[in-house]
């Protein structure tokens, strides 16, 4: 605490990102990064853009990138908003669409940044418990309220929700905004971007961080009705007009124009995930069905926290959450085949198999 902090900052409980360790080289399976490099076309485009044009501000409207995304999804650029990573898009969305008078609903086990944004905006979250198998209880999200946020697939469980269920939640109260966070949708889920023309209260948030292996350039998007996108622009232009730098804009556009590369890499991740799931089940792990580039695992005979610490000592980083209901789970990002083999070999030793 500091006497210089205002009351708002004193009250904050900031999000804690997964470790980016500097002490030694780890097999890093803790922050859901893509194990493969971005498209070579992205690297080339960024290198070519690194010249004296950097003295100029970037395009505040990100027009070319929005046009490329709109093209891909058969929308108009008026349906697209670009942010500095989807975390920024989510923060702007909480600030733009939710109010303290009515509760904003999200699950008890979900991306922990939602609670941080809700507190930052002095909102009243209504926390909806997932069922015993960590599925979204759709009926509970159909109650009227001030807004809904659901990742599809959910994090850290990896479980998806059907398009039919999302439609039900959207239709239950057309006066509130429903945010579907599709950070991981390209690893086996089904996107609801095509629904944005049908539902003016739907905002779909995506990122280049995972699918396009570009966590390092920080680009995220939102797709929604022009009125939602206008709201986000009003807010953005009241904070910082130039949220995306020139190199990121150029790289992002190259990535969107080469999505077949990312699809190919995502196929590899999915194949590796299925193989890792089989091996971990043989060791007695239980695994939540995943549509994502990570798996959520628990073992009936071994404590997750202890396994987390033992793996770290062996140079393998996974993610552990000290949180009710999931304190005996580990979230493991899918790495390369070689990285997953190292994880499984380490687990075999720890479990005396």
Nearer to ligand PMP, 5 or 242 (CB): 242
Binding segment for ligand PMP (CB under 6 A), chosen from 82-90, 253-261, 262-270, 277-285, is: 82-90
Nearer to ligand PMP, 54 or 239 (CB): 239
Exactly one of 181, 277, 291, 339 binds ligand PMP (CB under 6 A); that residue is: 181
* Cβ pair 293, 269 in contact under 8 A: yes
Minimum CB separation of residue 97 from ligand PMP in Å reads: 17
Q: Given the DSSP bridges, would you call strands 330-333 and 294-298 parallel, antiparallel or unpaired?
A: antiparallel
With helix as H, strand as E and coil as C, how does 73-108 read?
HCCCHHHEEEECHHHHHHHHHHHHHCCCCCCEEEEC
Exactly one of 104, 118, 161, 183 binds ligand PMP (CB under 6 A); that residue is: 183
Minimum CB separation of residue 315 from ligand PMP in Å reads: 23
Omega cis (within 30) before 153 = yes
Nearer to ligand PMP, 89 or 196 (CB): 89
Exactly one of 58, 77, 85, 189 binds ligand PMP (CB under 6 A); that residue is: 85
Helices (H), the chain: 7-11, 40-49, 63-73, 85-97, 113-120, 138-141, 163-172, 226-236, 246-256, 259-282, 304-313, 337-350
Cα dist. 162→75, 86, 195 in Å? Answer: 22, 22, 13
DSSP letter for each residue of 141-190 = HTS--SEEEEESS-TTT-----HHHHHHHHHH-TTS-EEEE-TTGGGT--
Count of chain residues binding ligand PMP (CB under 6 A): 12
- What x/- string results for residues 303 through 342 when contact with ligand PMP is judged by CB under 6 A? ----------------------------------------
Q: Which of residues 135-174 bind ligand PMP (CB under 6 A)?
A: 151, 155
Nearer to ligand PMP, 219 or 340 (CB): 219
Minimum CB separation of residue 177 from ligand PMP in Å reads: 16
Minimum CB separation of residue 210 from ligand PMP in Å reads: 7
* Cβ pair 47, 61 in contact under 8 A: no
Q: Which residue has the tokens 């991981």?
A: 184
DSSP symbol at 220: E
Q: Which of residues 184-213 bind ligand PMP (CB under 6 A)?
A: 207, 209
Q: Given the DSSP bridges, would you call strands 104-107 and 147-151 parallel, antiparallel or unpaired?
A: parallel
Minimum CB separation of residue 87 from ligand PMP in Å reads: 4
33 lies in the binding site for ligand PMP (CB under 6 A): no
Q: Which residue has the tokens 């909806």?
A: 128
Q: Which of residues 212-251 bind ligand PMP (CB under 6 A)?
A: 215, 220
87 lies in the binding site for ligand PMP (CB under 6 A): yes
Minimum CB separation of residue 131 from ligand PMP in Å reads: 19
Exactly one of 111, 141, 285, 321 binds ligand PMP (CB under 6 A); that residue is: 111
Q: Pull the structure tokens for residue 296.
A: 């959520």
Exactly one of 30, 34, 39, 86 binds ligand PMP (CB under 6 A); that residue is: 86
Q: How far apart are CA 34 and CA 53, in angstroms?
A: 30
Residues belonging to the chain: 353
Phi, psi torsion values for 60, nearest 5 degrees: -65, -20
Nearer to ligand PMP, 103 or 220 (CB): 220
Binding segment for ligand PMP (CB under 6 A), chosen from 60-68, 83-91, 96-104, 310-318, is: 83-91
Instruction: Report the candidate in 105, 180, 99 with the shortest Cα–Cα distance to residue 142.
Output: 105
Binding region for ligand PMP (CB under 6 A) = 85-87, 111, 151, 155, 181, 183, 207, 209, 215, 220
């Amino acid at each position: 605490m500091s006497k210089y902090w205002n009351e708002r900052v004193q009250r904050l409980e900031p999000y804690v990102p997964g470790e980016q360790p500097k002490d030694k080289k780890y097999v890093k399976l803790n922050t859901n990064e893509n194990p493969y490099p971005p498209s070579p076309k992205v690297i080339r485009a960024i290198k070519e853009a690194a010249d004296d044009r950097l003295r100029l501000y970037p395009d505040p409207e990100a027009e070319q990138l929005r046009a490329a995304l709109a093209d891909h999804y058969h929308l108009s650029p008026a349906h697209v908003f670009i942010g500095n990573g989807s975390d920024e898009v989510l923060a702007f969305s909480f600030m733009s669409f939710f109010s303290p008078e009515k509760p904003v609903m999200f699950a008890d086990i979900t991306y922990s940044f939602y609670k941080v944004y809700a507190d930052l905006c002095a909102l009243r979250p209504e926390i909806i418990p997932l069922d015993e198998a960590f599925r979204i209880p759709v009926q509970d999200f159909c109650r009227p309220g001030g807004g809904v946020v659901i990742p599809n697939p959910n994090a850290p469980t990896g479980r998806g929700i059907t398009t039919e269920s999302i439609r039900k939640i959207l239709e239950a109260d057309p006066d509130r905004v429903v945010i579907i966070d599709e950070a991981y949708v390209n690893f086996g889920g089904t996107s609801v971007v095509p629904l944005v023309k049908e539902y003016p209260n739907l905002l779909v948030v995506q990122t280049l961080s995972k699918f396009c292996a570009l966590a390092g350039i920080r680009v995220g998007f939102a797709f929604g009705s022009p009125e939602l996108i206008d709201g986000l622009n009003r807010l953005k232009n009241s904070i910082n007009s130039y949220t995306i730098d020139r190199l990121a804009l150029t790289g992002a556009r190259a990535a969107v124009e080469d999505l077949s590369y990312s699809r190919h890499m995502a196929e590899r991740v999915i194949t590796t995930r299925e193989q890792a799931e089989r091996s971990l089940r043989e060791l007695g792990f239980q695994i939540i069905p995943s549509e994502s580039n990570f798996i959520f695992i628990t073992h009936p005979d071994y404590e997750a926290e202890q396994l987390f610490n033992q793996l770290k000592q062996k140079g393998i980083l996974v993610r552990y959450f000290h949180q009710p209901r999931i304190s005996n789970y580990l979230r493991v990002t899918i790495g390369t085949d070689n990285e997953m083999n190292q994880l499984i070999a380490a687990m075999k030793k720890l479990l005396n198999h």
